[in-house]
Structure 1
Amino acid sequence: MSLGPIHVIRQKNICSAAVIFLHGSGDTGQGVLDWLKFLVGDFALPHIKFYFPTAPLIPYTPSNGELSNVWFDRYDITPEVPEHEESLNVISQEIQGLIKTIRKDDNLPLHKIVVGGFSMGGALALHTAYRFSPGLAGAFTLSSFLNTDSAVYKQGQAFDTPLFMCHGDRDTMVPLSWGHKTHENLKKLGIDAEFHVIKNTMHEMKKHEILNLFQWIQKILSEKRQTDSQ
């Protein structure tokens, strides 16, 4: 299993931070990038480089085993089943490899890198930030959830990494209650987790949601710079 194409948004200024944006199941890095551009135009956050990797093409159980660009397999799309530990462990190696490459190429410490994503991408971001690569600047999820017995709750660490969560109130694919429960469980671990309900929104991203996310990213990275200078 290996990552597909990675699309990168570079800024004209020197890169002082990076964001890894993970797409939802069945999508691609280019697909979620195009979606963001449709919503907010050609965004440019000063000094921040965006990475949009593409998930491997693997058999996906909820789609009757058909090949799909997904980060990991699921036994079913519900929080009540066990996590597919084998595929999560495999993709964790790929994402850790990407983070290692970013750190080397952009000369960035872990605490200048943010990871997040939409739907399944957000779930992987939680595993990445709180299990596989502790010490990141922040994590974000858009319309995502964790399984009830998630390894994040049992094996998590680095709970000082802040979290930004959004969820549509009309989402029928990933119900709002799943997102709420995930937020509650993460808060119990001591994570500084914001949760924003997006009104009149299904399983999708909205313009004001993304603009608020970008503001949050700039805020936490600014706070990291202030800490570094002290």
Structure 2
Amino acid sequence: MAAVQRLRKCVVSPTGKHSASIIFLHGSGDTGQGLRAWVRDVLVPDLAFTHIRVIYPTAPARPYTPMRGALSTVWFDRHKISRDCPEHLDSIDAMCSTLRAIIQDEINAGVPKHRMIIGGFSMGGALALHLACRYHPDIAGVFALSSFLNKDSVAFQAVEERARAGNSLPELFQCHGTKDNLVLHPWGEDTAELLRKAGMDTTFHSFPGLYHQLSQPELELLRSWILTKLPPD
């Protein structure tokens, strides 16, 4: 059996007793350390907590089809950047399996899954939605910043099936800048609406004038939402 791939990660430890965890996934071409530095630059006094460990993993370099097969630190491959094409499920599912080890590390540290949140920026948010909707629906919540799912994503079907069966689903917190390309904001808004219709509790925030980037108001809102889902013990 092949060994489980261990991802590099940047970790912000809590200042007090560790009782909850966040896994924050970077966008395509970035790294966990790069996202962590970006968050620290944008948000004062930082996305840090007394009781929550924040983990920024780094995706392994892989050939990326939209870059003509050049290597890039991406969570999964895409046939092209479009809502209308099929998802590259083989690479999505393989990475969901790889990230299971980080979730298990937190469980081993004494943090139950209902005290975890998974989220991400751009491609990281899309993978976070697959993780939460299809593989780990028992986490406390999921957030997606400047992210979208393809219109026929299997994640929508997974949510609908769980909702129809009366099973629990994590709450979604989603943000998107209105100046993020001409199409990406509507794609993100449509993703939130389709998940809501499928049965997921969703909140979507538009940020006027924001491009494909993080902003302090957005991260402040995210921090407040995190604390409602993962309050101190």
Scaled by the length of structure 1, the TM-score of the pair is 0.93
Match of 1:185 in 2: 194
- Aligned-residue offset at 1:11: 1.5
Identical columns (%): 41
Structure 1 residues 174 and 207, CA gap change in structure 2 (3 angstroms): farther
Q: Deviations over 1:127-176 (max 9, x none)?
A: 00110112000000000000011010123346531110000000017621
Work out the CA distance in 1 between the residues paired with 2:99 and 2:183: 24
Q: Is the Cα–Cα contact under 8 Å of residues 141 and 164 in structure 1 kept in the other structure?
A: yes
Match of 1:228 in 2: none
Match of 2:23 in 1: 20
Work out the CA distance in 2 between the residues paired with 1:25 and 1:166: 18
Question: Which letter maps to 2:91?
Answer: S
Q: Does 2:130 correspond to 1:97?
A: no
Q: Does 2:140 correspond to 1:137?
A: yes
* Gapped regions of structure 2 (runs ≥ 5): none
Question: Which letter maps to 2:11?
Answer: V
Q: Deviations over 1:162-202 (max 9, x none)?
A: 11000000001762110111011000112110000011011
Q: Is the Cα–Cα contact under 8 Å of residues 144 and 174 in structure 1 kept in the other structure?
A: no
Work out the CA distance in 2 between the residues paired with 1:33 and 1:136: 22
Match of 1:211 in 2: 220
Q: Is the Cα–Cα contact under 8 Å of residues 121 and 145 in structure 2 kept in the other structure?
A: yes
Scaled by the length of structure 2, the TM-score of the pair is 0.91
- Aligned-residue offset at 1:30: 0.3
Work out the CA distance in 1 between the residues paired with 2:197 and 2:96: 24
Match of 1:80 in 2: 84
Matching residue within 168, 171, 174 for 1:162:
171
Q: Does 2:38 correspond to 1:35?
A: yes
Q: SS where residue 204 of structure 1 aligns?
A: coil
Question: Which letter maps to 1:221?
Answer: L
Match of 2:120 in 1: 117
Q: Is the Cα–Cα contact under 8 Å of residues 169 and 198 in structure 1 kept in the other structure?
A: yes
- Aligned-residue offset at 1:41: 3.7
Structure 1 residues 3 and 80, CA gap change in structure 2 (3 angstroms): farther
* Gapped regions of structure 1 (runs ≥ 5): 226-230
Match of 1:45 in 2: 49
State which drifts further: 25-34 or 38-47: 38-47
Q: Is the Cα–Cα contact under 8 Å of residues 96 and 133 in structure 1 kept in the other structure?
A: no
Work out the CA distance in 2 between the residues paired with 1:191 and 1:214: 21
- Aligned-residue offset at 1:2: 3.6
Work out the CA distance in 2 between the residues paired with 1:159 and 1:81: 29
Q: Is the Cα–Cα contact under 8 Å of residues 166 and 196 in structure 1 kept in the other structure?
A: yes
- Aligned-residue offset at 1:112: 0.3
Give the length in aligned residue pairs.
223
Q: Deviations over 1:23-72 (max 9, x none)?
A: 00000000000000001145222201000000111000000100000000
State which drifts further: 152-161 or 6-15: 152-161
Q: Is the Cα–Cα contact under 8 Å of residues 148 and 184 in structure 2 kept in the other structure?
A: no
